[in-house]
Amino acid sequence: MLNGNSITRERIAAMEPRIRPFVRHTPVLGVDMADFGRPPLGVDLKLECLQHSGSFKARGAFTNLLERRVPAAGVVAASGGNHGAAVAYAAMRLGHKATIFVPEVSPPAKLERIRGYGAELVVGGARYAEALAASEDFAERSGALQIHAFNQKETLVGQGTLGLEIEADLPELDTLLVAVGGGGLIGGIAAWFAGRIRIIAVEPEGAPTLHRAFEAGRPVDAPTEGIAADSLAPKRVGEMMFPIAEAFVERSILVSDDEIIAAQAALWDRVRIISEPGGAAAFSALLSGRYAPAAGERVAVLVCGANANPARF
C-alpha cells in the first residue's frame, strides 16, 4: 500500500461521486499529429483546461473542502495561481472564506480569477516557496484550514478522479503524458491506474522537480525557473506522491521553454485550444519529438490548464 494506505483506487472511486456535482466531466478531442507537422498519429487530448476555475485543481480543492472540517476562519492556500483559483472557487461554491497567497511570478489572468471568486488575495515573494511560508504563518495565526497544492492526501485523491475519468473515456489507452510540478496531478492519476497503462511525466528543463527526485531516489530541491514557473516550479515534488511515482511513472521527459511556447501556439493555431504554458507542457513532448510513440501505440495527452490571457493568442 502507498503512503499510509490513504491514496488508493478504492478511495478515489469513493470520492468521485462526492465531487461530481461540483466538477465537469471534461471532453476528449481526437487529433492527428499530421495536422501539427508531425508524422501521422492519432492522439487524444483530454481537455481538463475546460474544468471549473480553468484547471484540474478544482478536483483536489473540492475533495479537501468536502472531506475536512472547515473552521469559521475559512481556508488558506498557497499557489502559483491555479490551485488558488480552484480553492477560491470551491470555497465560494460551498460558502466558506478563502485567503490565497501567491508569488509575484503569478500572471495577472490568474490573480483576476482568484479575486473574481471573492477570495482575499495576498501577493508576495518571488516564488511559490515564499507564498507557502506566508500561508503557513497565516494558518497558524488565524486558525484557517490549510489546503496544500500537492502534498496532501485529499488533494491527491481528488486529482486521482481525473484518472478514473480518463479511463472511462479512453478504455483502450496505452500511454498518458502528464505535466508535473509538485506532482499532485500525476501522483493521483498514477495511483488510479496503478501500472495498468504507461504514464510519462513531462517537465520544463528549468524546473525538473520529478526528474531530480528520480535521480536522487527521493524528493530534492530543483531549480524554479522557466516560462511555466507559475504552475510547474514548486522547488520539489511532494513526499506523498513520490513513492507512487517511483512505482507507476515510467520516466520523466524534459522540454524547453521554446518547445512549450511552440505547443501553446500550435494548440491555438490548429485546434483553437487556449492553454497556459504548464497546460501545454505535456503536448510539447509529442510536438517536439521528445516522446516518440511506437507503431500502434494509443496515446493521450492531458491539457491541464488554461488560465492565460486570450489576447496573447
Three-class SS state of 31: strand
When pLDDT is cut at 50, 70 and 90, the band that residue 108 belongs to is: confident
* Predicted pLDDT of residue 296: 93
**pLDDT tens sequence across 112-138:** 999 999 999 999 888 888 899 999 999
Least confident of 1-5, 37-41, 104-108, 181-185: 1-5
pTM above 0.85, yes or no: yes
Percent of the chain with pLDDT over 70: 96
* Predicted pLDDT of residue 5: 55
Average pLDDT over residues 192-207: 96
Q: Residue 166 in contact with residue 12, Cβ under 8 Å? A: no
Average pLDDT over residues 1-25: 85
Q: Measured between alpha carbons, how far is residue 49 from residues 16, 24, 28, 35, 237 in Å? A: 19, 11, 11, 21, 22
Q: Residue 89 in contact with residue 53, Cβ under 8 Å? A: yes
Q: Residue 41 in contact with residue 32, Cβ under 8 Å? A: yes
Whether pLDDT at 146 is above 60: yes
82: enclosing H helix or E strand: helix 82-94
**In terms of Cα–Cα distance, which of 310, 296, 225 is closest to 267?**
310
* Predicted pLDDT of residue 311: 64
d(Cα 47, Cα 54) in Å, to the nearest integer?
10
When pLDDT is cut at 50, 70 and 90, the band that residue 233 belongs to is: low
Whether pLDDT at 226 is above 60: yes
* Predicted pLDDT of residue 4: 39
